[in-house]
Amino acid sequence: MRILSGNLDVHPRGPKIDGKKKAIIIGATGATGKKLLRQLLDSDHWDGVTTVTRRSVLGGEGHNKLYEVTIDSFKDLSSTKDDWNGHDVFFNCIGTTRGKAGSAKAFVDIEYGISLKAAELASSAGIQNASVISAGGANAERWAPEWIHPLLYTKTIGQKEQTLTKHFSFKNVTIFRPGMLIRHYNNESALQRFFSSTNLGLPVSLLASAMIRDAESISLDSDKMEPVIYTGNSCIKSSINI
């Protein structure tokens, strides 16, 4: 794996490549997923975006490049099998907390379980390029009892990464390991401006931009490459405009 950190001077995947792509997203109703979806729809480099969600995206307003797949539960994604066909990039923006999930088991089922099912469908549909939001310290091999959540978290996130790097064969895999994320950015907030300027906090809109910049640099007929991991907010932020 190619693990990157610190400020980048050259993009690891090279310049953007002309052409249009189609993307499919899970987690499009989350903080980063919402930004990713909007930026993809606003970009001339993407001519179609599919979302798999439990509720409508964009407040139900619709978009001519958007195809929504709405399901009752992520426990069974088999009904969406045909909806994965015809895409170039799979973006995994699924994310939760133990508090929101309700238990350690539910947390693992969401972060790892849903990610595994989605990766299987993406791979079966012939999608060659996949991108996932992870976190610093991710380690699938870590000893992690359920009652020590910081350890369970990093182990589970590591397993989430492996849904793309180990369990299925994608030509290009990109992993983003940000630090603290700013989910509700307010330009008038001095504290948030401080976090953003020092890279202690990364606005989710910039994380989304970095994911798109990376995907737009991958040729659809490229050979299989080693996974690229962007580690830390400064690394992710610096990758956007190079």
Structure tokens at 84: 């994965």
Q: Tens digit of pLDDT per residue, the chain (242 long)?
A: 999 999 999 999 999 998 899 999 999 999 999 999 999 999 999 999 999 999 999 887 889 999 999 999 998 999 999 999 999 999 999 999 888 998 999 999 999 999 999 999 999 999 999 999 999 999 999 998 887 888 999 999 999 999 999 999 899 999 999 999 997 755 555 555 666 566 678 999 999 999 999 999 999 888 889 999 999 999 999 999 99
Q: How many residues does the chain have?
A: 242
Q: Give the H/E segment covering residue 144.
A: none
* Count of Cβ atoms closer than 10 Å to residue 61 Cβ: 8
Taking the domains of the chain in order of start, what are their residue ranges?
Answer: 2-238
Range 203-228 burial, b when 16+ CB lie within 10 A, else e: bbbbbbbbbbbbbbbbeeeeeebebb
* Strands (DSSP E) found in 97-151: 129-133
Partnered with residue 176 across adjacent β-strands are 133, 230
Contact criterion met (CB below 8 Å) for 39 and 203: no
Q: Give the H/E segment covering residue 61.
A: none
| CATH (residue range 2-238) | 3.40.50.720
**pTM for the full predicted model:** 0.93
